[in-house]
Every structure is written in C-alpha cells, then in structure tokens.
Amino acid sequence: MSSLAAAGPAKAKGQGAARSGFLPYLAGKLGAALVSFLVTLVIGFVIFSLMPADPVRTLTRGRPTSEAQLTQIRLQLGLDDPIWRRFLTFVGDTLRGELGYSWQFQQSVSSLVADRLWPTLLLMGSAAALSIALGLWLGIRSGWRHGSLFDRIASGASITLWSVPTFWLGMILLVAFSVGVGPIPSLLPAGGMSDPSLPQEGWAHIVDVAKHLVLPCLTMVLVVFAQYVTVMRSSIIDEMGSPYLLTARAKGLTDDAVRRRHAVPNALLPSVTMIFMHLGILVSGAITVEAVYSWPGLGYLTYEALRIPDLPLLQGTFIVFSASVIIMNLLADVVYRFLDPRVRAQ
C-alpha cells in the first residue's frame, strides 16, 4: 500500500510491534495443531482397532485357508502384540510417513494416496476456485442490492441447487451430457480421468483430461457455491448498516468504491473462515462425485476401501484427511491475523 511510505516512522513502529507478537502467536497455534493431530491419531487408532471386522477373515475371504495359515497372518500383521505396542508402532510409522499396506491393492497406502492426490486436487481445486469466485461475486452483488430482482434470482437459484443431492445432480448431468438425451448429443465422456486409447502426454492428453473434468467439476460447483452466496450475502447485509460506510460516502466515495474498499474487505472475514474449512476437506474429495464419475481420486479410493473394507487404507486416508483439515485451520488462523487488525491485538 502506498500509505506505508507516507505514514512515516510511527506506522512502521506500530506494525513492527504487531509483528514481534507474531512468532509466539504462531508457536501457540502450531502447538495446538500438533495436539489436535495427536488426538486424531489416537482416535484413528482406536476406531480402526475396535472395528468389528476381523482383518484376517477379510483378507482370506473366499479362499480356503488352514488354521496354521491364519495364525501366520495374524503374526505378520502384529495383531497378537499388546495394544500399547501396536499403538506406538502405528504412531511411529505414521510420523515417518508410512501409512500401512493396503490389503486390496497389495501396495503401500502412502504410494496409493500419492497417486490419487493429483486427480483429487485437480478436480476439487478447480471446483473450489470456481465456486468461491462465483459464490462470492453473487453474494456481494445480491447482498448489496438485497431484495432486487438480481438478488432474488441468485439467492433462489443457489438455494435450490444447494438442496439438490449431489449424486442425483451428477446422474442427471451424466445422462444429459454424456449419454445424450433427445436432441442433446453425447458431448462429454462419462467417467474416468482420461481416455486410455489416446496418448497419455502432450496437448491431446491435456484436452482429454479437461473434457473429463467438466462434468464432475460442474457438479461440485453447482452444489457448493450456494454456501458462499448465502454467507457472503448475509455478511454484506450486516456490514451495510455500519456507520463507517456512511462516513466513507460523506467523504465522497462512490457507491461502488464504498462497496469495494470498505464493505467487502470487512464482510469477507466469515467467508475466509469458510474458504479454509472448504480447503481443509478438499483432499478428501467428494466421495459421491468421484464415485459417480469414477474419478480416480482420494474420494473414490475411500469408496473402494470401504467396499472391502480395507482397514489400513481407510486408516491411512483418515489420517491424511484429518491432517489436511488441521493444516488448513492453522493457515486460516495465520491469514486471519493479517486480515483483521483486531485479531492482532488479542
């Protein structure tokens, strides 16, 4: 900001004071995040140890297995160890990044998660970016002119789409644009992330992936953007009563400038919280959307793990998802401090 230079030493001093308090603040938040993560590990361990499914039976289902073989497998899996040792092994492995070995895929969970992370980030990232941009824009516009025709159409449409079940909307879009209904030809691929018959690199591949991305991304955006519309709209309406907007108008700011410079930055705070919550659950993907479109992401992986159930894989994804929520919360706390001077004072 240009004001920094003009404000002179006093301002620099004021900000320096605020920054010196930042490291203790960050340390506190980091500590809290670490505690949350350890609690998550305990919960993850307890839940998956208490699962009524017997891992050995699940593994050997449908195959003739002798009693001796069963004992051998139990030994290999460490199921006979005392529970505290199993817990310590689990925590140690997790902290080293080893999330166990998937029964179903016969592959380490870490490598499975790594493989599926990129498709999920692509789908969920693009859906999040679009829904945030669309939702905030609509929310600001409809809040600023609430009661107008624009507001009624935007709010009505977003609430309607929000109430639609994700899988149903996915199916409808799939039928309409992929299978093709009546005059609508089959425009887009039905599932997966790329066409295996095409080369897996270069421009053709990128275009192919983009085509596969359209429907799942659209489904996600349509279901999610309403949250941003409603939160942003009501924050804007809250801010509109604030006298400082009147002060700004009296100084000569136009209506647009008052909205852009004063109302929106202050009204954004609740939406920022929501954005980070949204980013936190991003990697967990949308199980329903990924399942409907067979999108090879983490959500689909969870779905596949649930069917067996593949306990190490479920446990691994559980930890990855929790960690991502915790990290995003931490980031939200840090960003908040920069956005809201009042948080700095606390």
Q: Using alpha carbons only, what angle is made at residue 317 by residues 315 and 321, rounded to the nearest 5 degrees? A: 120
Half-sphere exposure of 136 (CA within 13 A, CB side): 16
Judged by CB, which is closer to other proteins: 99, or 267? 267
CB of 268 to other proteins, least distance (A): 10
Judged by CB, which is closer to other proteins: 126, or 266? 266
- 246 binds other proteins, rule: CB under 8 A: yes
Judged by CB, which is closer to other proteins: 152, or 342? 342
Of the candidates 309, 310, 121, 153, which has an alpha carbon nearest to the alpha carbon of residue 229?
153
Residue with tokens 């009505």: 156
Token digits of residue 134: 């669309």
Judged by CB, which is closer to other proteins: 61, or 251? 251
Cβ partners under 8 Å of residue 23, min gap 6: none
Judged by CB, which is closer to other proteins: 253, or 308? 253
Token digits of residue 87: 């817990």
Judged by CB, which is closer to other proteins: 6, or 68? 6
- 345 binds other proteins, rule: CB under 8 A: yes
The DSSP string of 309-336 is T-HHHHHHHHHHHHHHHHHHHHHHHHHH
Judged by CB, which is closer to other proteins: 146, or 249? 249
Interface pattern 136-165 for other proteins (x via CB under 8 A) = ------------------------------
Interface pattern 10-49 for other proteins (x via CB under 8 A) = xxxxxx----------------------------------
Burial of 103-134, coded b for 16+ CB within 10 Å and e otherwise, reads: bbbeebbbebbeebbebbbbbbebbbebbbeb
Among 259, 262, 278, 337, binds other proteins (CB under 8 A): 262
CB of 21 to other proteins, least distance (A): 13
CB of 38 to other proteins, least distance (A): 35
Judged by CB under 8 A, which stretch of 173-181, 210-218, 286-294, 333-341 contacts other proteins?
Answer: 333-341
Cα–Cα distances in angstroms (integers) from residue 19 to residues 9, 12, 13, 30, 345, in the given order: 15, 10, 10, 17, 11
| 101 sits in which H/E element | strand 101-102
Query: 189: cis peptide before it, omega within 30°?
Result: no
Which residues make beta-bridge pairs with 166? none
CB of 266 to other proteins, least distance (A): 6
Binding site for other proteins (CB under 8 A): 1, 3, 6-15, 242-244, 246-254, 262, 265-266, 339-342, 345
